[in-house]
């Protein structure tokens, strides 16, 4: 190898060493900064988990403020439709956003109307709101349940009609739901007086809605619609006309 060649090789190796040192330095920097970022994220995750576990149980959708129960509703959170001395009691747990509840109403509301009218059944409506996540931040479940409670308080005679109308106009799950104005229009059509409709916007019963929802969870309700006939959960098909009617009528006959 010529002298020039040796110098060249040395230069090349020198350049290589410098490049490698640079590489190592860059790697150390990335490792250090990366470790800080990653540890920060892990800490944030742990913090988020811990604060949800130790936080209050009301959930993010829980409205703040004092729980004000509407009149005409029993302390456990049910609104009765029909005669007190009807032989069969049918409790219905539902959420105004829940499409399965809409399917239940579409199949059974006519039959329930008839059974209430002829004095066979007394319905206990138990609105809950756990699907607020499904309305793109507008908390439709809670707004609708609050409107229902307001009607129960101020115009109980129209509550059942309003309830039925809300399901007839049920929005698709995952949409923004009905606006406050649309809910108000449905209430007026169902015969709810204006002075009652005007109070929807106050959200008076939102904390109450959250509290009965929590009570329903605590009592072991697993989902909606949950239909309870004379204290026993109805396990049959609630999405077609017939099975529930039969169960109610046979319960009435056996008394």
Partner 1 sequence: MTGELGTDEELAEGSRLHRLRHSRATVWVTMLVASVASLVASFVLSIDALRLAEDPSADLGCNINAVISCGTVANSWQSSLLGFPNAFLGLITEPVVITLAVASLAGIRFPRWFMLAAQVVYTVGLAFAYWLFYEAMFDIGALCPWCLLVTLATTLVFFEMTYVNIRDANLYLPRRVQAGLVAMVRSNLDLVLVVAWILVLVLAVVLKYGEALFA
- Residue ranges in contact with partner 1 by CB under 8 A: 13, 16-17, 20, 23-24, 26-27, 29-31, 33-34, 37-38, 41-42, 44-45, 48-49, 52-53, 55, 57, 59-60, 95, 98-101, 103, 130-131, 133-134, 136, 173-174, 216-217, 221-225, 237, 239
Q: For the CB of residue 241, give the shortest distance to partner 1 in the complex, in Å.
A: 14
Torsion angle (degrees, nearest 10) of CA 234, 177, 137, 56: -30
Nearer to partner 1, 128 or 248 (CB): 128
Q: For the CB of residue 195, give the shortest distance to partner 1 in the complex, in Å.
A: 34
Q: For the CB of residue 150, give the shortest distance to partner 1 in the complex, in Å.
A: 24
- Distance CA(223)–CA(226), nearest Å, equals 6
Nearer to partner 1, 33 or 67 (CB): 33
3-state secondary structure 143-200: HHHHHHHHHHHHCHHHHHHHHHHHHHCCCCCCCCCCCHHHHHHHHHHCCCCHHHHCCH
Task: Let me know: does 97 contact 171? Beta carbons within 8 Å.
Answer: yes
* 3 state SS of 21: helix
- Distance CA(49)–CA(93), nearest Å, equals 30
Nearer to partner 1, 114 or 136 (CB): 136
Nearer to partner 1, 191 or 223 (CB): 223
Nearer to partner 1, 31 or 179 (CB): 31
């Amino acid at each position: 190898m010529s002298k020039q060649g040796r110098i060249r090789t040395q230069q090349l190796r020198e350049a290589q060493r410098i490049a490698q040192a640079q590489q190592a330095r860059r790697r150390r920097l990335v490792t250090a900064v990366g470790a800080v970022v990653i540890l920060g994220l892990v800490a944030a995750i742990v913090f988020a988990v811990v604060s949800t576990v130790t936080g209050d149980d009301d959930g993010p959708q829980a409205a703040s403020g004092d729980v004000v129960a509407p009149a005409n509703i029993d302390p456990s959170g049910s609104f009765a439709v029909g005669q007190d001395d009807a032989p069969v009691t049918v409790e219905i747990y539902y959420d105004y956003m829940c499409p399965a509840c809409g399917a239940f109403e579409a199949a059974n509301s006519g039959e329930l109307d008839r059974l209430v009218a002829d004095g066979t059944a007394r319905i206990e409506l138990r609105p809950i709101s756990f699907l607020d996540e499904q309305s793109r931040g507008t908390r439709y479940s809670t707004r609708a349940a609050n409107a229902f409670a307001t009607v129960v308080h101020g115009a109980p005679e129209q509550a059942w009609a309003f309830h039925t109308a809300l399901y007839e106009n049920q929005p698709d799950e995952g949409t923004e739901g009905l606006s406050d104005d649309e809910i108000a229009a449905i209430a007026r059509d169902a015969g709810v007086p204006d002075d009652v409709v005007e109070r929807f916007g106050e959200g008076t019963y939102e904390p109450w809605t959250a509290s009965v929802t929590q009570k329903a969870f605590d009592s072991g309700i697993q989902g909606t619609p949950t239909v309870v006939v004379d204290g026993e959960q109805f396990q049959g098909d609630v999405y077609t006309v017939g099975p529930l009617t039969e169960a109610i009528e046979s319960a009435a006959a056996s008394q």
